[in-house]
């Protein structure tokens, strides 16, 4: 593949063909990206035809084009949602002023840091998921995995575009470094915790797309509020793709739950394992793991960074326009804070609590999905078990509860008690080995692994038994 950058190779709505400077920067970066993709991207399927969706415009009714493509030839495009005429800043100290087309010098470093942090998660997730192809439960799921992977690749392009176009040489260096860090690497890890966690099996994968991609939704939504117009418009378009990733996760878990329930009902001992499925307590442990890893991605409960981001207009709240007071200078937020071994209620200035405000929106959304899974259980006649989100103090590594120990209902434990009981709540090596034993890979069209139910419909109007992946 030639490295010449053109509108044909890189579908875009940023006038790439008439911007020589941007073309040159992207031309330099692209071969490194393709090398990175082939080296640590989806293993074993680089030469095969995958039925994928490609973003080719930002029109709501025609942005997605479906066809067979080989992943290294995927047309990673650059799209910003259409500009909003006369857009003004919606919150913080600059509320009401015109949105920025260029970045004010004093906010350059903060903004670069946010964009690099966001950008870093995208290739990280591709690295984490690289080995899942060989153990996919069906061709439909295999295709969904690759769809998520190529779109995370495009999200990296989206952030690299901002770095190249608005941050000069520093931005180009950051874009190069994005291809050098590696998920889980001891020397050059990815930036945020959850993105260094191994995704070893498809239970991890669905939990990740359910809970971790959903952090992406809330972070992107708050960056969509940004005073920096190009960041706002980029994130707005990314959110249209994010919806599919969360769909894969939420329906993936639902299909596993449905299958487990069906297997329970067909076994005299109500044992889902007897039919090659996952028991509900095991599923609960994977919920506990990925929900809490993802809670950490919102940052500390009390954060001066978050206050600065809000004050300067870089990062707003979820659906900022639905709030009445966009300055947030006078309000406070009540939270439970550990002080000298006790949990006490404290009022925290609202701006410093912005990470927690966003986490609240996220937790509500996760609870909605859990309620749905419980309805699936009830419909199947399982009445002696319900799934639940663990308490947000449980298993935290970031923020005010980090370094302390709590059970899934939020009660304080000693380090010893926690260590003793850990495997009641989080997957043990023994659990992981059982999950691994079911990960065999099912590749005949229309066939599916024993531990998951088929989807209610296929992709883009196709049936479940469609040939979503054609081996070369």
Q: Which residues bind ligand BYC (CB under 6 A)?
A: 114, 117-118, 121-122, 125, 152, 192-193, 212-213, 215-216, 219, 296-300, 303, 305-306, 315, 355, 398
- 326 binds Fe ion, rule: CB under 5 A: no
Q: How far is the CB of 116 from ligand BYC (least distance, A)?
A: 9
Q: How far is the CB of 191 from Fe ion (least distance, A)?
A: 14
Distances in whole angstroms, Cα of residue 300 to Cα of each of 237, 287, 397: 27, 21, 10
- 245 binds Fe ion, rule: CB under 5 A: yes
Q: How far is the CB of 208 from Fe ion (least distance, A)?
A: 9
* Crossing angle for the helix pair 280-296 and 429-438, to the nearest 10 degrees: 110
Among ligand BYC, Fe ion, none, partner that 120 touches (CB below 5 to 8 angstroms by kind): none
Nearer to ligand BYC, 9 or 190 (CB): 190
- 301 binds Fe ion, rule: CB under 5 A: no
Among ligand BYC, Fe ion, none, partner that 260 touches (CB below 5 to 8 angstroms by kind): none
Among Fe ion, ligand BYC, none, partner that 398 touches (CB below 5 to 8 angstroms by kind): ligand BYC
Sequence-separated (6 or more) residues with CB below 8 Å from residue 29: 160, 164, 172, 175, 176
Q: What residues are paired with 68 via a beta bridge?
A: 51
Stretch that binds Fe ion, among 17-25, 98-106, 213-221, 385-393 (CB under 5 A): 213-221
Q: How far apart are CA 93 and CA 352, in angstroms?
A: 14
- Of 81, 170, 154, 167, the closest CA to residue 122 belongs to 154
Among ligand BYC, Fe ion, none, partner that 294 touches (CB below 5 to 8 angstroms by kind): none
Q: How far is the CB of 166 from ligand BYC (least distance, A)?
A: 16
Q: How far is the CB of 193 from ligand BYC (least distance, A)?
A: 4
Q: How far is the CB of 209 from ligand BYC (least distance, A)?
A: 7
- Of 50, 48, 52, the closest CA to residue 66 belongs to 52
Q: How far is the CB of 39 from ligand BYC (least distance, A)?
A: 19
Nearer to ligand BYC, 20 or 188 (CB): 188
Sequence-separated (6 or more) residues with CB below 8 Å from residue 469: 45, 48, 49, 50, 51, 139, 142, 143, 146, 443
Distances in whole angstroms, Cα of residue 275 to Cα of each of 205, 211, 268, 279: 22, 27, 11, 10
Q: How far apart are CA 112 and CA 325, in angstroms?
A: 27
Q: How far is the CB of 450 from ligand BYC (least distance, A)?
A: 28
Nearer to ligand BYC, 90 or 277 (CB): 90
Give 438's Cβ-side CA count (13 Å radius). Answer: 22
Q: How far is the CB of 52 from Fe ion (least distance, A)?
A: 15
Nearer to ligand BYC, 354 or 449 (CB): 354
Q: How far is the CB of 92 from Fe ion (least distance, A)?
A: 25
Sequence-separated (6 or more) residues with CB below 8 Å from residue 290: 194, 204, 207, 208, 210, 211, 212
Nearer to Fe ion, 174 or 301 (CB): 174
Q: How far apart are CA 208 and CA 454, in angstroms?
A: 19
Among ligand BYC, Fe ion, none, partner that 32 touches (CB below 5 to 8 angstroms by kind): none
Nearer to ligand BYC, 114 or 264 (CB): 114
- Name which position in 53, 155, 181, 395 contacts Fe ion (CB under 5 A): 155
Among Fe ion, ligand BYC, none, partner that 127 touches (CB below 5 to 8 angstroms by kind): none
Among ligand BYC, Fe ion, none, partner that 279 touches (CB below 5 to 8 angstroms by kind): none
Among Fe ion, ligand BYC, none, partner that 369 touches (CB below 5 to 8 angstroms by kind): none
Stretch that binds Fe ion, among 19-27, 152-160, 229-237, 340-348 (CB under 5 A): 152-160
Triad 174, 175, 177: Cα angle to 5°: 60
Nearer to Fe ion, 219 or 260 (CB): 219
Applying the rule CB under 5 A, the residues between 93 and 122 that interact with Fe ion are 122
Q: How far is the CB of 149 from Fe ion (least distance, A)?
A: 10
Among ligand BYC, Fe ion, none, partner that 215 touches (CB below 5 to 8 angstroms by kind): ligand BYC
Triad 463, 447, 43: Cα angle to 5°: 95
Triad 37, 59, 11: Cα angle to 5°: 35
- Contacts to Fe ion by CB under 5 A: 122, 152, 155, 213, 216, 245
């Amino acid at each position: 593949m030639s490295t010449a950058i053109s509108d044909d190779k890189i579908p875009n709505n940023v006038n790439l063909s008439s911007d020589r400077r941007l073309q040159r920067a992207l031309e330099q970066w692209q071969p490194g990206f393709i090398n990175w993709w082939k080296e640590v991207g989806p293993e074993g399927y680089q030469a095969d035809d995958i039925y994928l969706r490609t973003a080719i415009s930002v029109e709501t009714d025609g942005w997605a084009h479906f066809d067979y493509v080989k992943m290294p030839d995927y047309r990673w495009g650059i799209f910003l949602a259409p500009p909003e005429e006369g857009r003004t800043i919606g919150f913080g100290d600059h509320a009401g002023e015109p949105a920025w087309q260029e970045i004010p010098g004093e906010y350059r470093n903060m903004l670069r840091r946010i964009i690099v942090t966001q950008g870093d998660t995208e290739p990280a997730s591709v690295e984490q998921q690289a080995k899942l192809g060989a153990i996919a439960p069906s061709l439909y799921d295999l295709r969904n995995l690759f769809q998520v992977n190529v779109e995370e690749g495009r999200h990296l392009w989206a952030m690299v575009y901002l770095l190249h176009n608005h941050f000069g040489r520093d931005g180009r260096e950051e874009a190069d470094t994005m291809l050098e860090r590696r998920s889980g690497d001891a020397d050059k890890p990815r930036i945020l915790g959850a993105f260094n966690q191994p995704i070893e099996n498809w239970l991890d994968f669905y939990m990740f797309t359910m809970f971790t991609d959903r952090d992406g939704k809330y972070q992107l939504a708050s960056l969509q509020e940004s005073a920096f117009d190009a960041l706002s418009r980029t994130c707005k378009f990314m959110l249209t793709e994010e919806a599919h990733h969360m769909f894969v996760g939420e329906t993936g878990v639902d299909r596993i739950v449905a299958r487990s329930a069906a297997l329970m009902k067909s076994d005299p001992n109500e044992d889902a394992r007897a039919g090659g499925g996952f028991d509900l307590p095991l599923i609960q442990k994977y919920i506990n793991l990925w929900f809490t890893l993802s809670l950490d991605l919102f940052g500390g409960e009390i954060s001066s960074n978050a206050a600065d981001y809000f004050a300067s207009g870089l990062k707003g709240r979820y659906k900022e326009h639905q709030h009445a007071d966009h300055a947030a200078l006078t309000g406070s937020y009540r939270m439970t804070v550990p002080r000298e071994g006790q949990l006490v209620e404290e009022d925290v200035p609202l701006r410093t609590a912005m990470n927690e405000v966003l986490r609240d929106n996220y937790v509500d959304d996760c609870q909605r999905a859990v309620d749905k899974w419980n309805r699936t259980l009830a419909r199947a006649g399982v009445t002696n078990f319900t799934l639940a989100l663990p308490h947000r103090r449980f298993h935290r590594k970031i923020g005010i509860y980090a370094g302390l120990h709590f059970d899934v209902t939020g009660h304080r434990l000693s380090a010893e008690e926690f260590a003793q009981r850990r495997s009641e709540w989080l997957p043990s090596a023994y659990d992981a080995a059982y999950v691994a034993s079911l990960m065999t890979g099912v590749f005949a069209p229309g066939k599916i692994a024993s531990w998951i139910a088929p989807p209610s419909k296929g992709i883009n109007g196709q049936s479940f038994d469609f040939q979503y992946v054609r081996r070369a």
